[in-house]
Amino acid sequence: MHVMNTYARLPVAFSHGQGCRITDTEGKEYLDALSGIAVSTLGHAHPRLVAAIAGQAGRMLHTSNLYRIREQEDLADKLVALSGMQEVFFCNSGCEANEAAIKLARYFGHKKGIETPTIIVMEKAFHGRTMATLSATGNRKAQAGFEPLVAGFVRVPYNDLQAIRSIAEHNRNIVAVMVEIIQGEGGIHLAAPEFQSGLRQLCDERDWLMICDEVQCGMARTGKWFGYQHAGVQPDIATLAKGLGSGVPIGACLAGGKAAGLFGPGNHGSTFGGNPLACAAALTTIATIEADGLMAAAERVGLQLRQGFKEALAGTAGVLEIRGQGLMIGIELDRPCGELVGKALAAGLLINVTADKVVRLLPPLIFSEAEAAELVARLTPLIKDFLGA
Ligand SMILES: *Cc1c(COP(=O)(O)O)cnc(C)c1O
């Protein structure tokens, strides 16, 4: 095996999938409650997406951002309409989308004469693995061994508006606050609505940019196109990736308000970013979510899952909390539970554990009510058995 050893991989490989089921190379079938970490929005081999990708591949895969790209312009129009933003930069992943956001915030600062622009970030945040996004990430284990980190970030506890206010009192270099409306890798933690609106108000008062990393919670997964739409706040920058292309790599950095119109030619770029293939996949993903009512489905089926697990696990010692929004769900246990992933795999279920103790469920948006009932029925005994309950 000559693949660099950056993942603790499970000993299984998959050959094909259909809807929310995927099959391994031995022919065993699994129910996919993870979507490759919030990526496979439309599940597997969705006929409409397959046709769109094949059609686009037959016309043109790549030209270059040296030229206009019609699919990219169409996707930008669509994302602007859905997000309340004004313009979009396209890239290929979540960390790149966040890099663009960080560069925008620094540029915004420099334009106001702030020479060492600083961004407020959260404890337990995850923003990516590139040097700047790793530095913004609130996980010492992920950063260890890669110092020196990129300067220009200060960290506060999540949901702590007072901590941000007190930094504002003495630090004149702050240009932005960067936040996940629902922390994914950090363990499915939700930003309180008052925190979100307070942040917006503070950003207005102080002339800071509000940046929402929607890489995991965006794209209709929580029952709205963007997580920030639940509380009705409008950030200046939002980033997308994971679910945007339903498996075809694409990222996007959306800017509005004070963050719009900052960049000019030469300020940023990406060879592959916004290529016709990736944009066709994203346009089809969005069109399918709209045509098939998948946003409302995410809300409905997500509620069914949370209620289902609450009932099934009621009174089980060791289950601390079941939380989430739409199809972004965490079941927090009182102990590290990474081994549940392997147990679930053996039982034909794809799930994940994050932040040591949180079972994380991120099913495709096409997850049906029957599949949700099946997931509750099949996963509950594994959790109870693990807890010795
Ligand atoms: C996954 C994730 C990223 C990083 O995305 P990559 O495509 O792996 O670079 C950034 N932010 C959040 C919130 C994520 O969940």
As a whole number of angstroms, the distance between CA 339 and CA 333 comes to 13
Residue 7 has pLDDT above 90, yes or no: yes
Taking only the tens place, the pLDDT of each residue in 287-314 is: 999 999 999 999 999 999 999 999 999 9
In a domain, 326, yes or no: yes
**Interhelix angle 339-346/369-387, nearest 10 degrees:** 130
How many C-beta atoms lie closer than 10 Å to residue 253's C-beta?
Answer: 29
- Round to whole Å and give the CA distance between 7 and 144: 16
Pocket of ligand 1 contains residue 128 by CB under 6 Å = yes
Centre of ligand 1 from the C-alpha of residue 385, in Å: 32
Pocket perturbation via mutation, ligand 1, pick of 158, 211, 216, 328 by most ligand atoms within 8 A of CB = 216
Name the residue of 90, 95, 188 whose CB sits within 8 Å of the most ligand 1 atoms, as the mutation to test its pocket: 95
How many domains, in total, are found in the chain? 2
- Find the mean pLDDT for residues 332-345: 98
Q: What confidence category does residue 29 fall into, taking pLDDT thresholds of 50, 70 and 90? A: very high
CA of 59 to the centre of ligand 1 (A): 30
- For range 315-328, the mean pLDDT: 98
Percent of the chain with pLDDT over 70: 100
| Contact in structure between 166 and 206 (CB atoms under 8 Å) | no
Question: pTM for the full model?
Answer: 0.98
The SS3 call for residue 57 is helix
Please indicate, yes or no, whether residues 235 and 346 belong to a single structural domain of this protein.
Answer: no
The closest residue, in CA terms, to atom 5 on ligand 1 is 94
Domain boundary among 244, 265, 291: 291
Q: Which domain holds residue 126?
A: 48-291
Q: Does 214 sit in the ligand 1 pocket, CB within 6 Å?
A: no
| Residue 130 alpha carbon, nearest atom of ligand 1 | 9
Predicted confidence (pLDDT) at residue 174 exceeds the cutoff of 90 = yes
Evaluate: CB of 241 within 6 angstroms of ligand 1.
yes
Arithmetic mean of pLDDT, 50-58: 98
Share of the chain above pLDDT 90, in %: 99
Is 271 in the same domain as 220? Answer: yes
Q: Are residues 64 and 210 in the same domain?
A: yes
Structural domain includes residue 277: yes
Q: For ligand 1, is residue 199 a contact (CB within 6 Å)?
A: no
- Cβ contact 105:176 at 8 Å: yes
Q: Is residue 64 located within the same domain as residue 206?
A: yes
Query: What's the pLDDT at 177?
Result: 98
CATH number at residue 300: 3.90.1150.10
80 three-class SS: helix
Q: Distance between CA atoms of 35 and 25, rounded to whole angstroms?
A: 18
**Mean pLDDT of all residues belonging to the chain:** 98
Co-location of 195 and 301 in the same domain: no
**Of 291, 321, 337, which residue constitutes the final position of a domain?**
291
> Is residue 150 predicted with pLDDT exceeding 90?
yes
Q: What is the per-residue pLDDT across 248-265, written as a single tens digit (0 to 9) for each?
A: 999 999 999 999 999 999
Residue 219 region, left (φ>0) first, then alpha (ψ -120 to 50), else beta? Answer: left
Of 215, 261, 225, the closest CA to residue 86 belongs to 261
Mean per-residue pLDDT, 103-110: 98
Q: How confident is the model at residue 389 (pLDDT cuts 50, 70, 90)?
A: confident
- Cβ–ligand 1 distance for 93 under 6 Å, the answer yes
Do 287 and 297 lie in one domain? The reply is no
Q: Which helix (H) or strand (E) holds 90?
A: strand 87-91
Which of 276, 291, 306 is the last residue before a domain boundary? 291
Q: Is 184 in the pocket of ligand 1 (CB under 6 A)?
A: yes
